[in-house]
Amino acid sequence: MNAPNTEQQALIRYLEGRWSEEQVRQRLSREGRSGEPVFDGRSLQFHPENWSLMRFALRWGLRVTGLYERGTRNALRLRVRRHHLRLPGLPAPLAGVRLLHMSDLHLDMHPDFPGLLRKRVQPLNYDVCLITGDFRYSTTGSYLPAIDALKHVLEVVDVPVYAVLGNHDPLAIVPALERIGVRVLLNEAVLWEERGQPLALAGVDDPHYFGCHDLERARDGVPEGVPLLLLSHSPELYREAAEAGYLAYFCGHTHGGQISLPGGIPVLTNARCPRSYCQGSWSYGGMQGYTTVGAGSSVLDVRFNCQPEVVLHILSAAQRGDVNTSVFP
């Protein structure tokens, strides 16, 4: 990467003490790779979100078959899922803590979406709000429309909001997010108390595309014995996170396939992990995880057999033989 320009210098200054200049420059250089490739030779990953020809062909195919309108209606059928998350060893006073989990908002996807999201969130009761990345619809262009839309949504949220970045989010979005009250966890952790008990929440940078995540650094300074939750854009770190001692893992990215076969079977999940980690609740080792199918849509503003959601996780202590369950009101 060449010498940083004025905007990049400002970002380096803004993140001083959180990320080194070298880390910022590494992330920015990955953002600038040949206009976001469809195939990334470094990770051997296919990125359909960057393939404008596929977007055009899909839209055309759906229009000529008369399915496009139905797909866009489906994409706006946003529901609230209540998920009982049973965590082994959770201190009893933390039972009942409620975490609102939103992901893959892609807020500038459709003009009606931010208002709809705000309407779904407004009546809910929760202690903390978690957002697991992908604020912007496209992987390029301005992030400001997404920030304006999120500001509108967050007017009805009066609890702390923590987030991580996704593969659609440039590092430069961080100051704008933090100005509207969203604390972005860039391989960092926060500690807070609920009902007199400490809880820790760590967050890593997007592991799917940018690869600047650091699970070990993210938990730096968290005292032993404090229940440790993780935000990551994608589920792809499930094994490393369990080995690093995280108790729960919240993520999105896969959109649950977004366009799925009848029965909710995804055509593509766009993640380097088994499909069992790509939607809903799962566990690995002693760690419990949840991959939300997301609230918004990308590539195209359509969904089939995969209804968008925001999730209200309700914590409880696990008993032997417990299974995590979710319900729709």
Residue 40 or 134: the one with the smaller Cβ distance to Fe ion is 134
CA–CA distance, 137 with 113 (Å, rounded to integer): 12
Residue 137 or 282: the one with the smaller Cβ distance to Fe ion is 137
Binding site for Fe ion (CB under 5 A): 104, 134, 298
Q: How many CB atoms lie within 10 A of CB 124?
A: 15
The encoded tokens of residue 328 equal 């729709």
Residue 87 or 182: the one with the smaller Cβ distance to Fe ion is 182
Minimum separation from the CB atom of position 294 to Fe ion (A)? 6
Residue 227 or 266: the one with the smaller Cβ distance to Fe ion is 266
Q: Which residues, other chains included, contact 309 with Cβ-Cβ below 8 Å and sequence gap of 6+?
A: 78, 79, 80, 81, 292, 293, 294, 295
Residue 227 or 289: the one with the smaller Cβ distance to Fe ion is 289
In three-state secondary structure terms, 285 is: coil
CB 162 within 8 A of CB 131: yes
Minimum separation from the CB atom of position 311 to Fe ion (A)? 15
Residue 36 or 134: the one with the smaller Cβ distance to Fe ion is 134
Minimum separation from the CB atom of position 139 to Fe ion (A)? 10
Q: Which residues, other chains included, contact 275 with Cβ-Cβ below 8 Å and sequence gap of 6+?
A: 266, 269
- From the list 298, 290, 22, the residue with the least C-alpha distance to 136 is 298
Minimum separation from the CB atom of position 233 to Fe ion (A)? 8
The encoded tokens of residue 88 equal 């082994």
CA–CA distance, 185 with 204 (Å, rounded to integer): 6
Minimum separation from the CB atom of position 167 to Fe ion (A)? 7
Minimum separation from the CB atom of position 54 to Fe ion (A)? 16
